[in-house]
Amino acid sequence: MSIEVRNISKSFGKFQALKDVSLEVKSGELVAALGPSGCGKTTLLRIIAGLETPDSGSILFHGEDATQSSVSDRKVGFVFQHYALFRHMTVFENVAFGLRVKPRPQRPSNEVIRQKVTRLLELVQLEWLADRYPSQLSGGQRQRIALARALAVEPKVLLLDEPFGALDAKVRKDLRRWLRRLHDEIHVTSVFVTHDQDEALEVADHVVVMNHGQVEQFGAPEQVYEHPASPFVYNFLGNVNLFHGRIVGGNLQSGSLKVAAPDALAGEERAAIGYVRPYDLDVQRARTNGSTIEAIVQHIHPVGPVVRLELLRRDTQDSLEAELTKDQFRELALSVGEHVFVSPKNLHIFAADYAI
């Protein structure tokens, strides 16, 4: 079932959590809502589920307006950040809950419930925990039980609020890949909220990046990462170097650097900032053709397969971060204090009045 969010706004007192947010999730997709805490992503998820009512705007499920329908009518599976398992029920009863509270005519027999719960527990690979209580489970196990419980009622839409937020790094990684596989298996339209860009980029079909209650960008992970639509997205998804400068004569002038600006910005003289990923900085010992910046190597951090360099620009005294592969670094054979020449391979320019 597809989800359409149309012009949703929501305030809590004076705080505006969502400003005119629109979004479309196609049937069977796995979408990540990504943003810093307080950006409104959880509120958006709760509005889709019907746990909050929007001040304005509408929610459509499969093209039909569901803004006024109650939580239970929406047939939405919701997985809470802290799982919200019923602590006085066993794992089995937790998963069976949604089946047991069905109105009498639709309620399956005990035998059917038992089979279904067992199947779900097998799906999340925890059938051996059926008789335990939530307090006896680890975080990752609770998360999977919460998921099984939400799936028991065969929801048309699955919503997950920071599903891996409370887990440690190793479990997070395992569990998110497992979620991706599970999604490929059952194909239920899913939206999950996260503040971890790796999680969003690795797992989701599409990513919606949010900030200050607004959608900054919606797109496939590669697109969002490679072609950020705003400085915020640039900053939020990975590290970035900033080149503060001015647009003069169709070029961005930043210290000794001069790069052609896009036509949209080239018209008049104005302040602008260039954004470059650390691995898009070309570092050479000798001055090359074109525009380069002279810098001093301040620190060298070998991290796994890459080497990170902290550089100090000689023209503006700003620092830069460059990322080289082990091979590149070996070839250059740099050491701290040496002079290098840096040129950006891939630079995005945004007008400086665009606040981050």
Partner 1 sequence: MTVKEAAPRPQRPTITEPVWVRWLLTAIALAFLGVFLLLPLAVVFIEALSKGLGAYGKAVTEPDALAAVRLTVTAASISVFLNLVFGVAAAWAIAKYEFRGKSFLITLIDLPFAVSPVISGLIYVLLFGLQGLFGPWLNDHDIKIIFAVPGIVLATVFVTFPFVARELIPLMHEQGTEEEEAAVSLGASGFQTFFRVTLPNIKWGLLYGVILCNARAMGEFGAVSVVSGHIRGITNTMPLHVEVLYNEYNPAAAFAVASLLALLALVTLIAKTAVEWRTQRDRKELVEIQESLTP
Contact positions vs partner 1 (CB under 8 A): 49, 51, 71-72, 76-78, 80, 82-88, 97-98, 101-102, 134-136, 138-139, 149-150, 152-153, 166-168
Q: Closer to partner 1 at the Cβ: 77 or 344?
A: 77
* Shortest reach from residue 51's CB to partner 1, in Å: 6
Contact 90, 68 (CB under 8 A): no
**Sequence-separated (6 or more) residues with CB below 8 Å from residue 22:** 5, 6, 7, 8, 57, 215
> Strands, E, within 37-175: which ranges?
56-61, 64-65, 76-79, 157-161
* Shortest reach from residue 15's CB to partner 1, in Å: 14
* Shortest reach from residue 354's CB to partner 1, in Å: 36
* Shortest reach from residue 169's CB to partner 1, in Å: 8
Output the CA torsion 241→205→215→48 (10° steps). Answer: -150
Contact 342, 281 (CB under 8 A): yes
Q: Closer to partner 1 at the Cβ: 64 or 168?
A: 168
- Separation of alpha carbons 48 and 243, rounded Å: 40
Q: Closer to partner 1 at the Cβ: 4 or 162?
A: 162
* Shortest reach from residue 98's CB to partner 1, in Å: 4
* Shortest reach from residue 272's CB to partner 1, in Å: 41
DSSP 307-344: EEEEEEETTT--EEEEEEEHHHHHHHT--TT-EEEEEE
Q: C-alpha distances in angstroms, 189 versus 4, 31, 184, 309?
A: 12, 8, 11, 42
Q: Closer to partner 1 at the Cβ: 140 or 221?
A: 140
Q: Closer to partner 1 at the Cβ: 134 or 221?
A: 134
- Separation of alpha carbons 352 and 324, rounded Å: 28
Q: Closer to partner 1 at the Cβ: 171 or 265?
A: 171
